[in-house]
Amino acid sequence: MRIPLIAKALGLEIGAYLLLKLGMPLITSPLPSSVIFMYMTLVTISIVLYVSIYEDDYNNFFVPIAAFIRGGKGESAARKLSRAAVFILIPLFFGFRSYQGIQINFEPPFPQRVIHPAPPGSAAGFMNPYGDDKNHREEYIQEGRKVFYENCVFCHGDKLDGKGFFAEALNVKPANFADATTISMLQESFVFWRVKTGGIGLPEESTPWDSAMPRWELILSEEERWKAIMFLYDYTGFKPRTWELGSDE
């Protein structure tokens, strides 16, 4: 027996949802609901697009739905009942959603923050004075390592993966330097600016009040900060973003 198109579409929709909601946590971290909603919207749109390309699909998909909604003479009681059920369930569903929406909620609101804000103009000029010194490079990195493990490790973790002792207690999680999409995408001057001014130095759109990053310029010397940054890049194996090809071989 051939499976009707509507059943296929429904199966795909449910399957995709289950995969995103339940399948995903099996292999990696669970997805936020906003992302699931976005992907489900895409799945729905592609189903609608697909069934409306060919005329026979279009008829097989939309005609039964229209017939179900419209009803007609000589319908079975079960069909009538199910229609009534659908028309009761739909408003109920939206009512329930509204109820959920206005219910008192102890979750903090969504933190809408800009992760990589544009630094103030003055931050573009920071230049690593120790970067070019190839002879003492190892030495500097070792000094940076010391700085890191004396100061940064508590939040950013001993593997630089943002899983330090305190990380669990912080709400904007410490940056994960081991991730290929963090420091390797940024210029050294940007990283230096973030270390220097810390969370408090962020512009308004990045909610400086959420970040626990200290203002290291009050604690560490410039030299220590640069060396720590050199250590970050050395340990993770990433290179800071540059604009000139061949500047690093």
Partner 1 sequence: MTMNKIIKRPVVWATCLIALFLCIPSTSVFAELPGGVSYRDIGSIGSRNLVWLLAQVHILFGAFLLGVPMFIIVIEIMGIKTGEQRYDKLAHEFADLIVAVFATTATLGIFFLFSLLVFYPELMEVMAFTFKPLYYVYLFLFLAETASIYVYWSKWEAWQNRKGLHVFWGFMLNLAGLALVFLPSGFLAYQASPVVLSPELTPLMRAWTALNNPTWIPVVIHRVVGNLILGGFVCGAYAGVAYLGAKTKEEKEHYDWMGYIGNFIGVFGLLPMPFAGYYLMREVYQYNQQMGITLMGGILSWLFILQAVLIGVLFVGSNYYFWQGIAFRTQSAPKYKGAIIAMLVVLVGSFSVWLTPHSLVASVSEARAMGGAHHPLLGVFGVMSAKLTVVNLMIVTTFICFILYWRADKVVTVKWGKAANIFTVLLITAAVIFIIWLGVYGYFVPSVYRVNVLSVAQVLAVLFVMFTITPLTALALRSAKLTQKMKWGVMPKRSQYALVINAVFVVLTMALMGYARSASRVHWHIYGVLEDTSAYAYTPTLGLASLLFVVSTAIFCVMVGIVFWTSHTIRHSRFSTRYFFLAPVFMWFCDLFEDKERKRLPKETGGPRFVMLKVTAVVGIFLLCYTYVGYQVPQKIGFPPEKKELDLTKIKTQDDMVQVGQDIFYSKGQCALCHSIGEGHGRCPNLAGVGARLTREFIYETLIDPKAYVKLDYHSPEPINYAAEMPTINKAPIGLSEQELMTIIAFVQSNGGEVTVTPDELRTLPKGELELPPHQPIVEPEVQPAEQIEEESLANPEKLAMAISGVFNRKE
Q: Applying CB under 8 A, which residues contact partner 1?
A: 24, 27-35, 38-39, 42-43, 45-46, 49-50, 52-55, 58, 107-108, 110-122, 124-125, 127, 129, 162, 171-173, 176, 179-181, 184-185, 187, 189-190, 203-205, 238-245, 247-248
47 vs 228, beta carbon nearer partner 1: 47
Distance CA 89, CA 87 (A): 6
Residue with tokens 């971290």, as numbered in its chain: 29
CB 231 within 8 A of CB 148: yes
Q: Nearest distance from residue 5's CB to partner 1, in Å?
A: 13
29 vs 100, beta carbon nearer partner 1: 29
CB 175 within 8 A of CB 169: no
Q: Nearest distance from residue 228's CB to partner 1, in Å?
A: 19
139 vs 205, beta carbon nearer partner 1: 205
76 vs 181, beta carbon nearer partner 1: 181
Q: Nearest distance from residue 29's CB to partner 1, in Å?
A: 5
Angstrom CA distances, 29 to 22, 25, 72, 108, 138, stand at 11, 5, 49, 21, 37
Q: Nearest distance from residue 81's CB to partner 1, in Å?
A: 32
Residue with tokens 């017939």, as numbered in its chain: 67
Q: Nearest distance from residue 120's CB to partner 1, in Å?
A: 7
- In sequence order, the 6+-apart residues with CB closer than 8 A to the CB of 102 are none
7 vs 180, beta carbon nearer partner 1: 180
- In sequence order, the 6+-apart residues with CB closer than 8 A to the CB of 67 are none
